Amino acid sequence: MEFYIINLLYFIIAIPIVLITFPILSKLCKDKRFLSIIIVLSLLLFSVRFTLIFFQDTIGVMPYLIEDVIFYSLLMLFGVIFSWSYVIKIEKVSFIDISGNVENVKKSIIYGLLAYIPLLCLLPLMRFLTDIHISFNITAGKIIVATAFAVLAGFYEEIMFRGIIQNHFMEITENNIKKSIFLTSITFTATHIFYLPFTGFGIYYFFVFIMALILSFLRAKYDLLACSILHSGIVFILIVFV
């Protein structure tokens, strides 16, 4: 395990960005300007992620992360507080409103797990086109970092993208499921620009886009629980075994 105190500078940069943007989003939500909400929120989510690349020497680059347990634990906490604050304080809705009523937990779990199949089938192609390799050198640091990212993926990202943004796209497109799925997936992929390496003919971005389509479909047809099971699990697997 490693710790780089300079990584804490990330929060000194990111937190003010959030605090400045939240009042703008609160005003937009009050006026129900859904397209403006999506644009500003997407830019905020992009900025928070983009800031991470300035610390890539001390936090690593996806999917190869440095085992800075303290930083990633704080990042997980930051993501949870960010999501909770946005839902409760800005959108002023309940988590049930954005995640969908989980009518059948067993079905959500099953469909979330079945959705792993197409993504796992893409891993050999990713391995062929990039320098990614499977590693069974599993350490405590890797487990902690992977768990932190799994929470960020399954809670923070799913709430913000498949919860908030997809719901607003549904409102803009007058409940057109196909359009909302496609637009949410494009938005999700776009916020990853520069965060992932442009290697292997953009295979990482292709993977993210396909995953985003599957996640948005799960949200439209089932609920956010199924999305979280898929997203958090895939992220955990990629970090632990790479």
Domain ranges of the chain: 5-240
- The DSSP secondary structure of 97-144, one letter per residue, reads HHH---S-HHHHHHHHHHTHHHHHHHHHHHHHHSS--------HHHHH
For residue 145, pLDDT beyond 90: yes
Of residues 74, 62, 230, the one with CA closest to residue 157: 230
Report pTM: 0.94
The encoded tokens of residue 48 equal 């928070």
Output the pLDDT for position 241: 87
Q: What is the mean pLDDT of residues 196-206?
A: 88
Distance of CA 58 to the CA centre of its chain: 21
Q: pLDDT digits over 68-98, tens only?
A: 999 999 999 999 999 999 999 999 998 888 8
Mean pLDDT lowest among 46-60, 130-144, 150-164, 219-233:
130-144
> What's the pLDDT at 135?
78
Residue-wise pLDDT tens digits, 18-35: 999 999 999 999 999 999
Q: What angle do CA 188, 47, 83 make, to 5 degrees?
A: 65
